[in-house]
Amino acid sequence: FATGALAGLSVLITAGPTREPLDPVRYLTNRSSGKMGYALARAAREAGARVTLVSGPTAIAPPPGVECVHVETAQQMHEAVMSRVAQAQVFVATAAVADYRPASIADQKIKKDAARRSLELERNPDILAAVAALPQRPLVVGFAAETQDLERNARAKLMKKGLDLIAANDVSGGRGFDADDNALTLLWPGGGTTLPLQSKEQLARQLVAVIADRMGEANSR
Ligand code: C5P
């Protein structure tokens, strides 16, 4: 019998980077380590939730008691989320999803012949926006990595994507990505708070407490 701030709830979390293949041996990706999403999965589990983690490739082991679905591409992550989101009361998108994928994947390894090559890219689905647009939706929490005007850009993203909560972090000067510590500015419609620089594990516990608060707020309306 689970006790804790999220007892009895199902939480779906995306984490890590995605990997977008170019040919059989190459891909496009980013510097996301998955640390924040995995810490959040652990904290949500410790708060009594049933947790499903949809993860791109990372070097981290899933926390105990967390169901982990491994994916590579943004399209696979989108599918894995959409087929599970109806069961969730909370959705948290921490993944650094590639905004674009190569428009076509070469069947064979691309040869180094031409002196110059160009790469055509195609937009990937925005998983967070897709979940937020569902008629029957969980509490939707997004992340925003910004290099300038943190609060203004994050609030704009909160409204534009129709989120219930956004966790903004300042990634200027290489902060945030792949680090063990982070600071977050949390914004929701009509309010906000800041979580000062601390380990991602501690930060995750505080974020879980705020998510539980927002759930309580949503249920009391
Ligand atoms: O718009 P932007 O990419 O800055 O938004 C970041 C947020 O959106 C993060 O929560 C990220 O996980 C999510 N996202 C997503 N699918 C995408 C791009 C971003 O879920 N294709």
Average pLDDT, the chain: 95
50 - beta bridge partners?
Answer: 10
- With b for 16 or more beta-carbon neighbours within 10 A and e for fewer, the 108-131 pattern comes to eeeeeeeeeeeeeeeebbbbbbeb
Checking if the pLDDT of 13 tops 70, the result is: yes
Ligand 1 atom nearest 92 alpha carbon: 10
Ligand 1 atom nearest 98 alpha carbon: 21
**pLDDT band for position 171 (50/70/90)?**
confident
Taken in order of first residue, the domains within the chain and their CATH numbers are 10-100+122-219 (3.40.50.10300)
193 token code pair: 């708070």
CA of 122 to the centre of ligand 1 (A): 16
CA of 143 to the centre of ligand 1 (A): 7
Lowest mean pLDDT among 19-28, 47-56, 175-184: 175-184
User: Which residue, 50, 41, 33, is CA-closest to 14?
Assistant: 41
Ligand 1 pocket, Cβ-based, cut-off 6 angstroms: 14, 74, 93-95, 97, 99, 124, 126-128, 142-144, 157
User: Which residues lie closer than 8 Å to 8 by C-beta, 6 or more apart?
Assistant: 2, 48
Contact in structure between 143 and 162 (CB atoms under 8 Å): no
Whether the complex's predicted ipTM surpasses the cut of 0.95: yes
Residue 157 labelled as part of a binding site: yes
Q: What beta strand segments (E) does the chain contain?
A: 10-15, 20-23, 26-28, 50-55, 67-70, 90-93, 100-102, 121-123, 139-146, 165-170, 181-188, 191-199
Lowest mean pLDDT among 19-28, 33-42, 117-126, 178-187: 178-187
CA of 114 to the centre of ligand 1 (A): 35
pLDDT score for 180? 86
CA of 2 to the centre of ligand 1 (A): 31
Cα-based distances in Å from 1 to 8, 48, 49, 50, 191: 9, 9, 11, 12, 33
The torsion angles phi and psi of 101, rounded to 5 degrees, stand at -125, 155
What residue's CA is closest to ligand 1, atom 9?
143
For a mutational test of ligand 1's pocket, the pick from 55, 128, 163, i.e. the residue with the most ligand atoms closer than 8 A to its C-beta, is: 128
13 token code pair: 């979390």
Query: pLDDT tens digit string along 99-152?
Result: 999 999 999 999 999 999 999 999 999 999 999 999 999 999 999 988 899 999
Ligand 1 atom nearest 74 alpha carbon: 21
